């Protein structure tokens, strides 16, 4: 059973638990890195995930942990009524700047993924991309998604994941990611996400893993401002990666640079 963060007295005073605070501080420092040039600006994975989701007309959409706003603003550009939400003010500022630069209109709300300030049945679609591995309580997040969706509404989740039943590779990836970005909490497997969805009455329609090539290790460090000692530790972990991790994440060298592939999960569920 996975363990998530526990609230202490000081955490409850700030309204954020330790894991949320770490994420918020990390993204406040690094918000400038999540703009146009970031790999997340390519939203072809979002389009692929939406292929089977009926989105005729103007739909009410919530994009959770919107970051630079790439997913939410893409949906706004398709004509939907989109709310972009995030825990981190600086990220919401970056998303607002992108909204203005692109001549789009959207709403912005600051809140955690684990507690949403909306009435039951407010949205037709909830999206969340490349963020849930930071969340302190994925089970609360999924329960909130189910609550704020209308009956028959859709949930689209895209995130780094790891194959079911690969504990050694999972532990390795978790250690690497935690060293690179200490605000990382946990990658969940496809089975774990499916169980969380089913527990709150969401019917999973699509659940697929596809490898996504990561830029080389140095880009990866710069994005998270990884401390020098952690960079060294990650390089050592990569050099000594167990066979299961080498196979699953296709760890290799190209032109003297370390490259690897992250299993990206796309999950589409219906309420
Ligand atoms: C990599 S960015 C998201 C990228 C974005 N979804 C996209 O498609 O481009 C991760 C975001 O998750 C947010 N975040 C982390 N933990 C959160 C939480 N518990 N609740 C809400 N937002 C959170 C961070 O503030 C950050 O903006």
Strand partners, 212: 262
Taking 60 as the threshold, does the pLDDT of residue 154 lie above it? yes
Which pLDDT belongs to residue 27? 83
Name all residues whose Cβ lies below 6 A of ligand 1: 20, 23-24, 27, 40, 65-68, 70-71, 86-88, 91, 112-114, 129-131, 134-136
238 CA distance to ligand 1 centroid (A)? Answer: 26
Whether the Cβ atoms of residue 181 and residue 152 lie closer than 8 Å to each other: no
Please identify, by atom number, the ligand 1 atom nearest to the C-alpha of residue 43. 8
Distance 65 CA to ligand 1 centre (A): 3
pLDDT at 189: 97
| 189-228 residue pLDDT tens | 999 999 999 999 999 999 999 998 887 888 888 888 899 9
Q: How far away, in angstroms, is 138 Cα from ligand 1 center?
A: 13
Give residue 127 CA to ligand 1 midpoint distance, Å.
Answer: 11
**Mean pLDDT of all residues in 239-255:** 92
Q: Which atom number of ligand 1 is nearest to the Cα of residue 111?
A: 21
Q: Whose CA is nearest to atom 25 of ligand 1?
A: 88
Closest-CA residue, ligand 1 atom 27, reads 67
- Could you give the CA distance from residue 157 to residue 268 in angstroms, rounded to a whole number? 6
Expressed in angstroms and rounded, the spacing between residue 245 Cα and the centre of ligand 1 is: 26
On whether the pTM is more than 0.75, the answer is: yes
* All residues at 6 or more sequence positions from 44 whose CB lies less than 8 Å from its CB, including other chains: none
pLDDT, position 1: 33
Q: Cα separation of 80 and 75, whole Å?
A: 6
Q: Is the pLDDT of residue 142 over 50?
A: yes
Atom of ligand 1 nearest to the CA of 91: 27
Burial code (b: 16+ CB inside 10 Å, e: under 16) for 254-268 equals eeeebbbebbbbbbb
* Token code pair at residue 240: 């000594």
Q: Quick one: which atom of ligand 1 is closest to the CA of 28?
A: 25
Q: Which two tokens stand for residue 130?
A: 């490349």
Question: Which carries the bigger pLDDT value, residue 40 or residue 136?
Answer: 136
Give the ligand 1 atom nearest the CA of 129. 6
């Amino acid at each position: 059973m996975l363990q998530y963060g526990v609230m202490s007295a000081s955490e409850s005073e700030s309204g954020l638990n330790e894991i949320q605070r770490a994420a918020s501080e990390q993204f406040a420092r690094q918000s400038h890195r999540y703009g146009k040039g970031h790999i997340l600006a390519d939203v072809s994975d979002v389009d692929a995930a939406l292929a089977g989701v009926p989105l005729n007309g103007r739909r009410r959409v919530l994009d959770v942990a919107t970051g630079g706003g790439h997913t939410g603003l893409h949906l706004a550009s398709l004509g939907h009524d989109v709310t972009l939400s995030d825990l981190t003010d600086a990220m919401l500022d970056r998303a607002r700047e992108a909204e203005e630069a692109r001549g789009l209109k959207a709403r912005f709300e600051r809140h955690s993924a684990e507690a949403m300030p909306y009435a039951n049945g407010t949205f037709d679609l909830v999206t969340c991309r490349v963020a849930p591995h930071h969340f302190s309580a994925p089970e609360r997040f999924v329960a909130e998604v189910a609550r704020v969706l209308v009956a028959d509404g859709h949930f689209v989740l895209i995130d780094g994941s790891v194959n079911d039943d690969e504990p050694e590779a999972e532990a390795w990836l978790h250690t690497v990611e935690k060293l690179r970005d200490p605000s990382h909490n946990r990658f969940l497997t496809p089975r774990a996400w499916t169980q969380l969805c089913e527990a709150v009455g969401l019917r999973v329609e699509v659940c697929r893993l596809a490898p996504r090539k990561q830029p080389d290790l140095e880009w990866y460090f710069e994005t998270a401002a990884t401390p020098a000692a952690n960079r060294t530790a990650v390089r050592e972990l990569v050099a000594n990666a167990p066979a299961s991790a080498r196979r699953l994440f296709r760890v290799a060298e190209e032109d003297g640079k370390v490259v690897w592939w992250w299993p990206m999960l796309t999950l589409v569920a219906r309420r």
